């Protein structure tokens, strides 16, 4: 992490106006928090209530009306992975992506796989029941199998240090055990997924991650309530 | 070592054509392998075990999958005729809109063309809303990339060519000059660029394929 003594005049100018719109719990803006924190960049935070979105948020993100939005000198950046690349290209210290084009392509591929396939498949396990849940578990574990193999010989997806793909999968390190607890299903056990289990520990233990993670009890309450909504939808009338 | 570039693709797929367009724009020679997606080759399954899909670019034995990831790889590996700006904000903008096209536009367009009849009007409205965002994004530019074709133009190939073909095949009307004058102008400019033109699947063949696969559409005459 860059020490404050090495902040240059140029960086001060770039840092001039940086605002992050987020919620207290959403994992996607957290990726941006982590990226900025790893690079030692100062920014203002605006907490949104998604049931009552601010006019500023709607102005900056009229298409998706979601967080995160990062506003840099008045210009909005949307979509967490796009924002991460912007941050990496604008502030060069503690790079998130490797330099080699093939390694960058590999990182982008896995981050996308995480969002497009892994997350939805695990969410399905969380919200479904009975036979649907059993099928969801099979799909989720297949996806996790691919992810597990990516960690072969590495501490983090990025190698020795946390990088782009680690931040992209950050939700897995912290939310999964929570969801497992709330819905009573274990997806990642040490025997089947030894590398992922270790990665989860290493990632969750990193100080920046630890410090920024929302309070566990508050998260449990939130997801318990969400699960109740889903189960009541599915319950026979 | 001699450079070896393979591309596994499918003639009608806008995704695989994106890669060909980028390679052509940069003057990169490659070997093309047509995949029958109903009977995937062992090579494809070996190079893309996760998704088992085309396109896959294999550069000196190393595979890259997912069309937008491939486009960025191409731009970072072969620096002539760049398809992305050097400016981080413009790059973020192009990436955002390319993602928007893939995640929102394609399925909305498809629904408007081949969705359920009773949902048709709503589907057209939703697709039109999305196209309006792109219309606004174009502003007064010749291409999304500015003066030359860029990554976003290539990603928007679905809008630039395939959409018109979908409309003809299904009878749906979406990209009208009346509602989207800028997008229509852009589409004409886009398909006129030689690197693009040479990589468009034949219209009649594509129409026949679409009708065969998806039916004649909700509003065909």
**pLDDT tens for each residue of B69-126:** 999 999 999 999 999 999 999 999 999 999 999 999 999 999 999 999 899 999 999 9
The distance in angstroms from the start CA to the end CA of chain B is: 57
Phi-psi region at A201: left, alpha or beta (left = phi > 0; alpha = psi -120 to 50):
alpha
Copy the structure tokens of residue A73.
């000198």
Report in angstroms the alpha-carbon separations of A57 from A45, A65, A69: 13, 7, 8
Residue-level pLDDT at A3: 47
Residue of B nearest to A104 (CA): B73
Split at pLDDT 50, 70, 90, the class of A7 is low
**pLDDT tens for each residue of B8-62:** 999 999 999 999 999 999 999 999 999 999 999 999 999 999 999 999 999 999 9
User: Do residue B69 and residue A77 have CB atoms under 8 angstroms apart?
Assistant: no
User: Do residue B95 and residue A108 have CB atoms under 8 angstroms apart?
Assistant: no
User: Do residue A79 and residue B95 have CB atoms under 8 angstroms apart?
Assistant: yes
User: Do residue B92 and residue A86 have CB atoms under 8 angstroms apart?
Assistant: yes
Residue-level pLDDT at B99: 98
Is a pLDDT exceeding 50 seen at residue B221? no
ipTM summary value: 0.96
Residue-level pLDDT at A236: 58
Is a pLDDT exceeding 60 seen at residue A44? yes
Residue of B nearest to A102 (CA): B73
**pLDDT tens for each residue of B147-160:** 999 999 999 999 99
Residue of A nearest to B64 (CA): A105
User: Do residue B65 and residue A82 have CB atoms under 8 angstroms apart?
Assistant: no
A236 versus B191: the higher-pLDDT residue is B191
Residue-level pLDDT at B209: 95
> Closest Cα of chain B to A32: distance in Å?
14
**Contacts A–B by Cβ distance under 8 A:** 56
Long-range contacts of residues B210-216, Cβ cutoff 8 Å, at least 24 apart: B210/B165, B210/B166, B210/B169, B210/B170, B211/B169, B214/B113, B214/B114, B214/B169, B214/B170, B215/B114, B216/B169, B216/B170, B216/B171
Q: Whole-structure pTM over 0.90, yes or no? A: yes
Residue-level pLDDT at B217: 73
Can you tell me the mean pLDDT for A115-130?
Answer: 95
Q: What value does the mean pLDDT of chain B take? A: 96
Residue of B nearest to A80 (CA): B96
Closest alpha carbon to A192 in A158, A147, A136, A134: A147
The CB density around residue A30, as the number of other CB atoms within 10 Å, is: 23
> Closest Cα of chain A to B178: distance in Å?
23
Q: Give the integer Cα–Cα distance in Å for B98 and B121.
A: 26
Kindly list the residues of chain B whose beta carbon comes within 8 Å of any beta carbon in chain A.
49-50, 59, 62, 64-66, 69-70, 72-73, 76-77, 88-89, 91-92, 95-96, 99-100, 104, 133
Q: Give the integer Cα–Cα distance in Å for A64 and A79.
A: 9
Residue-level pLDDT at A230: 87
Q: Give the integer Cα–Cα distance in Å for A49 and A53.
A: 6
Can you tell me the mean pLDDT for A127-151?
Answer: 96
Task: State the Cα angle at B98 between B196 and B91, rounded to 5°.
Answer: 95
């Amino acid at each position: 992490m860059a020490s404050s003594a090495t902040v240059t005049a140029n960086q001060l100018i770039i840092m001039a106006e940086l605002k992050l719109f987020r919620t207290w719990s959403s994992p996607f803006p957290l990726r941006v928090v982590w990226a900025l924190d790893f690079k030692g960049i100062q920014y203002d935070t605006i907490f949104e209530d998604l049931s009552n979105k601010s006019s500023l948020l709607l102005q900056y993100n009229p298409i998706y009306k979601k967080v995160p939005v990062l506003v840099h000198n008045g210009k909005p950046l949307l979509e967490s992975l796009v924002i991460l690349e912007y941050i990496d290209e604008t502030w060069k210290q503690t790079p998130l992506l490797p330099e080699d084009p093939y390694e960058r392509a590999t990182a982008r591929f896995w981050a996308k796989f995480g969002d497009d396939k892994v997350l939805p498949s695990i969410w399905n396990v969380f919200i479904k029941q009975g036979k649907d849940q059993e099928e969801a578990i099979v799909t989720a574990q297949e996806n996790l199998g691919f992810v597990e193999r990516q960690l072969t010989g590495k501490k983090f997806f990025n190698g020795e240090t946390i990088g782009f793909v680690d931040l992209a999968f950050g939700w897995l390190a912290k939310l999964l055990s929570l969801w497992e607890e709330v819905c009573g299903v274990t997806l990642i056990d040490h025997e089947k997924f030894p590398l992922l289990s270790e990665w989860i520990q290493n990632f969750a233990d990193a100080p920046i991650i630890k410090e920024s993670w929302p309070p566990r009890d508050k998260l449990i309450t939130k997801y318990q309530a969400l699960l109740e909504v889903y189960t009541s939808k599915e319950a026979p009338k | 070592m001699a450079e070896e570039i393979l591309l596994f693709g499918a003639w009608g797929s806008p995704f695989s054509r994106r890669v060909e367009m980028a390679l052509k724009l940069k003057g990169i020679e490659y070997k093309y392998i047509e995949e029958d997606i109903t009977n995937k080759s062992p090579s494809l399954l070996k190079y893309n075990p996760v998704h088992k899909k085309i396109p896959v670019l294999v550069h000196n034995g190393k595979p890259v999958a997912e069309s937008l990831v491939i486009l960025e790889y191409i731009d970072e590996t072969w620096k002539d005729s760049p398809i992305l700006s050097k400016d981080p904000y413009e790059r973020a903008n192009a990436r955002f809109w390319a993602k928007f096209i893939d995640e929102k536009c394609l399925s909305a367009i498809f629904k408007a063309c081949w969705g359920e009849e009773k949902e048709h009007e709503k589907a057209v409205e939703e697709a039109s809303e999305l196209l309006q965002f792109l219309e606004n994004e174009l502003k007064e530019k010749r291409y999304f990339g500015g003066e030359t074709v860029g990554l976003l133009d290539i990603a928007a190939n679905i809008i630039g060519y395939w959409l018109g073909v979908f409309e003809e095949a299904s009878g749906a009307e979406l990209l009208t000059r009346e509602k989207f004058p800028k997008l229509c102008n852009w589409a004409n400019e886009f398909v006129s660029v030689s690197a693009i033109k040479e990589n468009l699947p034949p219209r009649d063949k594509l129409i026949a394929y679409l009708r065969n696969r998806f039916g004649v559409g909700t509003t065909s005459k």
